[in-house]
Amino acid sequence: MGIPSELRDAWVNKRHSYTSMTAASPNEERIIHSNNSIRESVPEGFKAAAIYGVVAAVPTVIACRVIPWAKVNLNHTAQALIISTASIAGFFIATDQYILENARGNTIGKHGKSM
């Protein structure tokens, strides 16, 4: 299934020939920088998710073994939800912070351009 390689290569070459005829946008450099910052933020988010997951997992598991209320009321599904919620929140918080830091660097002031 899929596109045969000869057809795909012809399509890609035809597409590149059209892009060479168009004029570059003045905002193209900023768009490339913003796409790169988004692409670079994903590994940062995964690192933070792993850290937040471990930080949330240790006290959750210990509490479920030591505290009587948690032992009775928090089954394995509840523990997994607590840990995954912390991991997901850590991912989105770290990714958002990284994107915002790079967005501040990609502002008009950095490029010295005025509108």
pLDDT at 18: 54
> Which has more pLDDT, 5 or 42?
42
Q: What is the mean pLDDT of residues 92-104?
A: 86
Q: How far apart are CA 84 and CA 87, in angstroms?
A: 5
Q: What is the pLDDT of residues 16-72, one digit of tens each?
A: 555 555 666 777 777 777 777 788 888 889 999 999 999 999 999 999 999 999 999
**DSSP count for the chain of H helices, then E strands:** 5, 0
Distance of CA 101 to the CA centre of its chain: 14
| The pLDDT of residue 115 is above 70 | no
pLDDT at 15: 61
Single out the residue of 48, 58, 60 nearest to residue 87, CA to CA.
Answer: 48
Instruction: Tell me the whole-structure pTM to 2 decimals.
Output: 0.63
**58 to each of 8, 16, 65, 86, 114, how far by Cα in Å?**
50, 52, 11, 12, 51
| The pLDDT of residue 109 is above 60 | no
Q: What is the mean pLDDT of residues 83-96?
A: 93
Per cent of the chain over pLDDT 90 is 43
Angle of helix 28-66 relative to helix 76-105, nearest 10 degrees?
A: 150
